[in-house]
Each structure stands twice: as structure tokens, then as C-alpha cells.
Chain A
Amino acid sequence: MADAIQTINVLGFALNAINERNQVIANNISNENTPGYQANVVTFENSLASALQNGGTASAAVTPEGLASSINGNNVNLPGEMALEVQTNLENQSVANSLNTEFSVLSTAING
């Protein structure tokens, strides 16, 4: 039981972080032509892995992507962001599916 709850917590955290990543990517893409705009990325995988291994709390961080800027000070890489967006959506779908499976297993255990 404790294991199932932990799995649900971990999946919930991942879902949140993936949604935030999706938001950051949407923001990067919508600012594709904003002078001086610097693209950001969301990282959480390493933090989550280390929290699962060693205990502690995992966190998602927004950090600058740090690519070279073009002449107007903008460093959004549109094809890269689009690819990342598709990838993030697939991650989102797999986590959502896993959560559904977890819940249906629990539901079967409770209701028979």
C-alpha cells in the first residue's frame, strides 16, 4: 500500500514538472522574436532520481538554456523547442497513463 502511494506521489510530481516544462517551452516559442529574450529549460529528472535513491525532496528548476544569442539578443531555437514540445507531450501522456493504471489497480484492490 505504501508503495502504491509513493508511486502515485512520484508520478504526480513528475506530471507537475512536465506541465511546467510544457509551459516554459510554450513561453520560449511565443517569445521567438522578442528582442533580448533568453530561453529557459525545466530540469527535474536528476533531482527526482537522487531523491528516490537517497531520500530527500525532489524539485523542478527553471534555468536559462544558455545558447548563443542572435543579433537581437534572442536565443530561442525554434526547431529544438518544437521537438522538445512533442517529446514533453509524450512524457505527459505516459505519466498520465501510468497514473491511470496505478489508480485502476488500487480501485480493483479496494472494490474487487
Chain B
Amino acid sequence: MSMFPSISIAGSGLSVDQTWIDAIGGNIANAQDTVTPGQPVYREQSVVAAPVGNTSLIGQPQAGNGVHVQAIALSAGKGVLTYDPTNPLANKQGDVVSPNINIGHELTSLVEAQVNYEADATVLQNSDTAYKNVLMIKA
């Protein structure tokens, strides 16, 4: 446990939010990918967050130690078949496969991730001030 836990807890939140934003960036950047049917296609990434250490999920609640990325889950990855005969990657039937990514969903998650990032950044700043107040105590 760090000496100034609130700062490291807010920092852990920031890094989860950052990973989340990165995953969304990857999804949006690859939304227009095309591959020949039968080839592996880009799979949508989603970040799975979990509390660090002993958590309020089980047993007696404790102050807590922050959050971490437990896993980056990939979608089933079937992709969607589209008819695009001019695409050099199209098969004999003129079909290509694109990842099944919903841009609306991605952008909504991006806003959510940004709000969380902002909240964690504010907590970090405020905790810094709070600890400094305590450090200024002198006789």
C-alpha cells in the first residue's frame, strides 16, 4: 500500500480509462477493415475492469486499492459479409468480410470513458491538495 493511497487509486482508474480509450480507438480505426471470406477478421475489443485486491464483491467491505484491467475481451469475430465485387480481396462470389463494429456504440463508450477519465483526474488533483494540507501541519 502506498503512502498516499488516494493518489494511486485515482491513478489506477486513469490507467484503466486510458486502456479503454485505446481499445475504442483500435475498434474505430479497424471498423472499415475488409478481408477475404474465410480469413481472420478484426475482432472488437472490450476492456473488463475488476477491483484490485480484497474487494467489496466478497466479504467485509474495505477501503479498497483501486481498479485494474482484468482482461481485454474479443468479440466472437464472425464479421459481416458484404457484397463488394470491385474489392481486390473479394472472393469468387464478390463478397468481403468486415468486422461487426457499431460506430455509435463505440463513440458512446468513448464519451463514457472520457467522463471517467476526467473524474479520476479530478480525484487525483484533489487528493494531492488534501495530502499537501496534511503535510503542512507543523508545530
Residues in A lying within 8 Å of B, measured CB to CB: 15, 19-20, 22-40, 42, 62-64, 78, 81-82, 85-86, 88-89, 92-93, 96-97, 99-100, 103-104, 106-107
Residues of chain A with a CB closer than 8 A to B136's CB: 96, 100
Most buried by B among A24, A29, A38, A42: A29
Interface residue B81 (Cβ < 8 Å from any Cβ of A): no
Residues of chain B with a CB closer than 8 A to A31's CB: 13, 49, 51, 64, 66-67
| 5 nearest A-B pairs in the assembled complex, by CB-CB distance | A30-B13, A27-B64, A26-B9, A26-B6, A103-B139
Residues of chain B with a CB closer than 8 A to A88's CB: 130
B129 touches A30 (CB 8 A): no
Per-residue CB proximity of B111-139 to A under 8 Å, as 1/0?
Answer: 01001100110110011011001101111
B10 touches A26 (CB 8 A): yes
Kindly state the interface size class of chain B when it binds its partner. Answer: 35 or more
Q: Contact partner of A34 among B51, B120, B133, CB < 8 A? A: B51
Seed contacts A19-B134, A26-B123; 4 additional CB < 8 Å A-B pairs: A23-B9, A38-B56, A85-B122, A89-B126
A62 touches B61 (CB 8 A): yes
User: How far is B112's CA from A26's CA once the two chains are assembled, in angstroms?
Assistant: 18
B56 touches A64 (CB 8 A): yes
* Nearest opposing residue in chain B for A99, CB measure: B137
* Nearest opposing residue in chain A for B50, CB measure: A34
Residues of chain A with a CB closer than 8 A to B63's CB: 20, 23-24, 27, 40, 42, 62
Secondary structure at the A interface, as helix, strand, loop or mixed, is: helix
Most buried by A among B65, B66, B120, B137: B137
B139 touches A85 (CB 8 A): no
Residues of chain B with a CB closer than 8 A to A93's CB: 130, 133
A34 touches B130 (CB 8 A): no
User: How far is B57's CA from A99's CA once the two chains are assembled, in angstroms?
Assistant: 37
Per-residue CB proximity of B47-88 to A under 8 Å, as 1/0?
Answer: 011110001110001111111000000000000000000000
